[in-house]
Structure 1
Amino acid sequence: MKRSAQFQDLGVDELRQRAQELDDELFRLRIQKATGQLEKAPKIREVRRDVARIKTFLRQKAGRDGVTA
């Protein structure tokens, strides 16, 4: 619940920017995993779930405000 609360108060543009940052981080983590340099494997799952949370909030805001996601 705590993790979703941090995204709840952000605006649409901020959510999109944060989603892009997390996508970039996820890409770097996957590269590290492929090269054997990843130390915290669960971090991939956390980032992936954060992206899903942000996309959920974007979809909710799009439905409520009439803004396209």
Structure 2
Amino acid sequence: MLIKEIREKSSKELLSTVDALKDELFNLRFQQATGDLENPARIKAVKKEIARIKTVLTERENADKE
């Protein structure tokens, strides 16, 4: 997901997306531990996407405070 797409979504949608990505990350880590992980690069991509969304949420919170 591009940063432009993230900024277009509401905060509520972003929070639900973060929850879904955290579930996916858990499953990927579980697959890695059992040796079933086919695409190890996906773990890094999911982590980056979570970080991007959290950054946008923090920016919004700081903008609301000002």
**Do Structure 1 and Structure 2 share a fold, with TM-score over 0.5?**
yes
Q: Does 1:65 align with 2:64?
A: yes
- What is the correspondence of 1:1-69 to structure 2 with a 5 Å cutoff? 3-66=2-65
Structure 2: distance between partners of 1:33 and 1:53: 23
Residue 65 of structure 1, CA deviation: 2.2
Gaps of 5+ in 2: none
Question: What do you get for the CA RMSD once the two structures are aligned?
Answer: 1.1
Q: Deviations over 1:21-44 (max 9, x none)?
A: 000000000000000000001000
SS at match of 2:39: coil
When the two structures are aligned, how many residues end up with a matched partner? 65
TM-score (norm 1): 0.88
State percent identity of aligned pairs.
37
Q: Deviations over 1:41-68 (max 9, x none)?
A: 10000000000000000000111124xx
Gaps of 5+ in 1: none
Structure 1: distance between partners of 2:31 and 2:4: 29
